[in-house]
Amino acid sequence: MDKIYSKENVMKKILVILLSIISTAVLSAPIELPDNLTQKQVEDISAEFAMNLSHTAVAAPETKGLWGIEVGIVGGQTSSPELSNLIDQAGSNGNDFKKIYHGGLIGRAHIPFDIFAEATVLPEREISDVNFKNASFGLGWNAGAYFNLPLDVAIGANFSSSEIKFNQSVDVAGLPVDSDINFQAKTKVIYFGLSKEFLFITPYVKVGAASFDSDVKVDVNGGTIFASNKQSATADGSGGYYVIGANLQLLLLRIGIEASKSVDIGRVTGKLSLAF
């Protein structure tokens, strides 16, 4: 096996192992993976990871009143069929890897001129020697409220940045490769949104375009198959962005549910918050 092929194969295996860590929180045993991963498969699983952690406040694009503040938590799951299929191809059971998960704290505010801003954050934390952090931000304008239209008509954009760091020993061609892995992903979304309040419920839809960029860097601590001690690989993609959701308002309590499809990746997210 030549050095170039070995480097690319290790990078691909590390990427799938990273997604497996996200799926299960802890890897109890090494995962066997196929040796013939394609660039398309790498891009697909990168998209599953990146879009899982893309921005959402599970919020309608509304600006009720002159000012408003909302704080709470969000959490949900994303379909990861490519990851599951890769595990199946290697002869293992991929059923445990059909979903990957996300969550975080949210804050949302709207101000005069019907401008709204949103932010989510999952502070850096360590789970079984895996360091993980995620943050996102969104900004939009509700033209429907500004021009006193009968429904909310908004345009907006959001961005996210995620990072995972961990150490993993990967066996390639019988050689152990002990490496420090740093995986970063960024997403961008622009959208057009509609919403309308009916008593206590506000349904909404958003349509737009989404893109992602991911980068995995490996600092090798052992093994001899790498031409140098540091390697990196990237993946990117783009596609449509489609969201349907609803918020239920009970006094200060707000409960939300949202289903989305971004770059062909399906995700469901729930919310529990207080809105003032």
End-to-end CA distance of the chain: 62
Euclidean distance between CA atoms 115 and 62, whole angstroms? 9
* CB-based contact 52:265 (threshold 8 Å): yes
Structural domain including 195 reads 3-275
Give the residue-averaged pLDDT of 11-16. 54
* CB-based contact 22:164 (threshold 8 Å): yes
Q: Provide φ and ψ at 228, rounded to 5°.
A: -140, 175
Enter the pTM of the model: 0.84
Tokens of 204: 């909404």
What's the total number of domains in the chain?
1
Bigger pLDDT: 18 vs 108: 108
Give the residue-averaged pLDDT of 21-29. 44
Q: Determine the pLDDT at residue 229.
A: 58
pLDDT, tens digit, 9 for 90 and up, residues 123-175: 877 766 678 889 999 999 999 999 999 999 999 999 999 998 877 665 555 66
